[in-house]
Chain A
Amino acid sequence: MGVVKLELKGISKAFGTFYANQDIDLVVESAQIHCLLGENGAGKSTLMNVLYGLYEPTAGQILVDDRPVNFRGPGDAMAAGIGMVHQHFMLVPVFTVAENVALGAEPTSFGGVLSIDETRKKIRDISAKYGFDVDPDALVEDLPVGVQQRVEIIKALVREAKVLILDEPTAVLTPQETDELLDIMRQLRAGGTSIVFISHKLREVKAVSDVITVIRRGKVVGDAPPTASATELASMMVGRPVSLSLNKAASQPKETTFVVENLTVRAPNGTNVVDGISFDIAQGEILAVAGVQGNGQTELTEAILGIQPHVTGSVMLDGKQLLGLPVKDVLRSGVGFVPEDRTVDGLVGPFSVAENLVLDLYDQAPFASGISMKPAKVAENAKAKIEEFDIRTPSAGSAAGTLSGGNQQKVVMARELSRPLRLFIASQPTRGVDVGSIEFLHKRIVAERDVGTPVMIVSTELDEVIELADRIAVLYKGKLVGIVPAGTPRDTLGLMMAGVGPERGSDGQ
Chain B
Amino acid sequence: MSATSTAPKAGAGAPAPTAALRPSLKVPISLSVLSLVALVFFGLLGPGKTAEMKISDPGDAVEVPALMIPGQVGGMVLAILLFAMAAYAIYLWTRGERSPKWLPIVFAVVFVFALLVWIVAGARQPSISLAGLVAGSVTLAVPLVFGSLSGVLCERVGVVNIAIEGQLLGGAFTAALVATVTGSPYVGLIAAAAAGAAVSMVLAVFSIKYLVNQIIVGVVLNVLVSGLTGFLFGTVMVPNKAQFNTPGRLDILPIPFLSDIPIIGPILFEQSIAGYLMYVAVAVVWFGLFKTRWGLRVRAVGEHPQAADTLGINVNATRFWNVTLGGAIAGIGGAVFTLVTIDSFTKEISGGRGFIALAALIFGRWNPIGAFLASLLFGFAYNLQSILGIIGTPVPSQFMAMLPYLVTIFAVAGLVGRSRPPAASGIPYVKG
Contacts and interface: CB of A to CB of B under 8 A. Distances in A.
Contact of B312 (A74, A95, A261): A74
Contacts of A323: 1, 11
Q: What are the 5 closest A-B residue pairs judged by CB atoms, nearest first?
A: A75-B312, A104-B311, A314-B10, A90-B307, A312-B14
A493 to B, nearest CB: 28
Interface stretch (B113-121, B171-179, B190-198, B291-299): B291-299
Given A90-B307, A103-B307, A313-B12, A321 B312 contact: no
Given A266-B20, A272-B20, 7 more contacts: A90-B307, A92-B300, A103-B296, A271-B20, A314-B11, A320-B3, A321-B10
Interface string B411-432: 0000000001001000000011
Contact of B306 (A90, A103, A262, A320): A90
Given A54-B310, A270-B20, A272-B17, A108 B292 contact: yes
Interface string B1-22: 1111010111110101100110
Interface in A85-138: 86, 89-95, 99-100, 102-106, 108, 111-114
Nearest to A325: B1
A49 B310 CA distance: 10
Contacts of A54: 309-310, 431-432
B303 to A, nearest CB: 5
B181 interface: no
A90 B311 contact: yes
A351 interface: no
Contacts of B2: 321
Nearest to B424: A92
Contact of B304 (A91, A111, A271, A314): A91
Given A312-B11, A319-B4, A92 B303 contact: yes
A86 B10 contact: no
Nearest to B307: A90
B407 interface: no
Nearest to A113: B292
Contacts, number: 124
Interface residues of B, number: 38
Contacts of B300: 92, 95, 103
Contacts of B10: 261, 313-314, 316, 321
Interface string A411-448: 00000000000000000000000000000000000000
A104 B308 contact: yes
B81 interface: no
B310 A55 contact: no
B303 A321 contact: no
B281 interface: no
B189 to A, nearest CB: 25
A316 B312 contact: no
Contact of A321 (B1, B12, B310): B1
Contacts of B16: 264, 266, 310, 312
A78 interface: yes
Interface-central residue, A104, A112, A312, A316, by most chain B CB under 10 Å: A104
B310 A92 contact: no
Nearest to B306: A90
13 contacts: A90-B304, A90-B310, A95-B299, A103-B296, A103-B307, A104-B313, A111-B292, A112-B293, A272-B17, A313-B10, A313-B12, A316-B10, A319-B3
A91 B306 CA distance: 9
A75 B311 CA distance: 6
Nearest to A317: B3
Interface in B235-293: 291-293
Given A93-B303, A312-B11, A114 B291 contact: yes
A312 B432 contact: no
B308 A112 contact: no
A92 B312 contact: no
A311 to B, nearest CB: 9
B312 A73 contact: yes
Interface in A222-279: 259, 261-262, 264, 266, 270-272
Contacts of B307: 89-92, 100, 103
A476 interface: no
A74 B310 contact: yes
Contacts of B303: 92-95
A316 B3 contact: yes
A407 to B, nearest CB: 23
B311 A261 contact: no
A84 interface: yes
A481 B283 CA distance: 52
Contacts of B314: 73
B294 A112 contact: yes
A256 to B, nearest CB: 12
A103 B311 contact: yes
Contact of B293 (A73, A90, A114, A261): A114
B296 A99 contact: yes
A119 to B, nearest CB: 11
A197 interface: no
Interface-central residue, A49, A99, A103, by most chain B CB under 10 Å: A103
A84 B309 CA distance: 12
A401 interface: no
Contacts of A76: 312
Interface in B306-363: 306-314
A74 B307 CA distance: 11
A262 B299 contact: no
A321 B17 contact: no
Interface in B99-134: none
Interface in A313-338: 313-314, 316, 319-321, 323-324
Contact of A78 (B21, B293, B309, B312): B312
A262 B3 contact: no
A262 B11 contact: yes
Nearest to A75: B312
A112 B289 CA distance: 11
B292 A114 contact: yes
B6 A52 contact: no
Contacts of A313: 10-12, 14
Interface-central residue, B12, B309, B312, B314, by most chain A CB under 10 Å: B312
A257 B305 CA distance: 49
A93 B424 CA distance: 12
Contacts of B6: 314, 321
B304 A92 contact: yes
Interface-central residue, A270, A312, A314, by most chain B CB under 10 Å: A314
B3 A321 contact: yes
Interface in B1-53: 1-4, 6, 8-12, 14, 16-17, 20-21
B11 A261 contact: yes
A89 B313 CA distance: 16
A86 B293 contact: no
B292 A104 contact: no
